[in-house]
């Protein structure tokens, strides 16, 4: 039997945003831009299931525990090391996207791929927002800074 970890970003939303595989959540609450068949774009607000449950139980003012982590809180090398730890047990590749800052240098970008190679990852996917491709997911703070 061969094992792999398939893309789960969009699929996770169907299950009330419970998990997107190896990824920490993008953000606890964020905006998702959806391209429609007629060429228009629709914006949806998405919130993490565990985050909502925590807020329901402990209130909006309660400080989140340390284990509530977003993808942005991790460095690119943290993401690669997480993937490498799981890769040991997976035969094929792992679908995991490393969100990079828009202003990442070429050397830092190259280092992400070299670390993935050196740690035995069978694939490495990065995403760097830019004016050509735009953004699919963004937090309210990111939207205000544009």
Q: What is the domain partition of the chain in residue ranges?
A: 9-141
Condensed to tens digits (0 to 9), the pLDDT of residues 69-105 reads 998 889 999 999 999 999 999 999 888 889 898 899 9
Query: Please, are residues 116 and 109 in contact by the beta-carbon 8 Å criterion?
Result: no
CB burial string 105-123: b at 16+ within 10 A, e below: eeeeeebbeebbeebebee
Higher pLDDT, 46 or 10: 46
Residue 144 phi/psi, 5° resolution? -70, -30
Q: Taking the complete model, does pTM exceed 0.85, yes or no?
A: no
Cβ neighbours around 45 below 10 Å, total: 9
Condensed to tens digits (0 to 9), the pLDDT of residues 16-68 reads 766 667 778 888 998 888 889 999 999 988 888 999 999 999 999 999 999 99
Dihedral over alpha carbons 23, 9, 146, 34 (to 10 degrees) = -170
């Amino acid at each position: 039997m061969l094992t792999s970890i398939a893309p789960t970003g969009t699929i996770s939303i169907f299950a009330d945003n419970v998990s997107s595989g190896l990824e920490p959540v993008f953000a606890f609450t964020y905006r998702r831009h959806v391209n429609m068949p007629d060429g228009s774009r629709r914006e949806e607000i998405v919130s993490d299931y565990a985050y909502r449950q925590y807020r329901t139980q402990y209130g909006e003012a309660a400080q989140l525990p340390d284990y509530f982590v977003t993808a942005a809180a991790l460095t690119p090398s943290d993401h690669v090391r997480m993937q490498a730890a799981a890769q040991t047990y997976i035969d094929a590749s792992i679908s995991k996207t490393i969100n990079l800052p828009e202003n990442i240098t070429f050397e830092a970008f190259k280092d992400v791929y070299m670390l993935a190679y050196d740690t035995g990852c069978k694939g490495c996917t990065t995403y760097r927002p830019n004016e050509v491709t735009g953004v699919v997911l963004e937090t309210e703070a990111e939207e205000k800074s544009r």
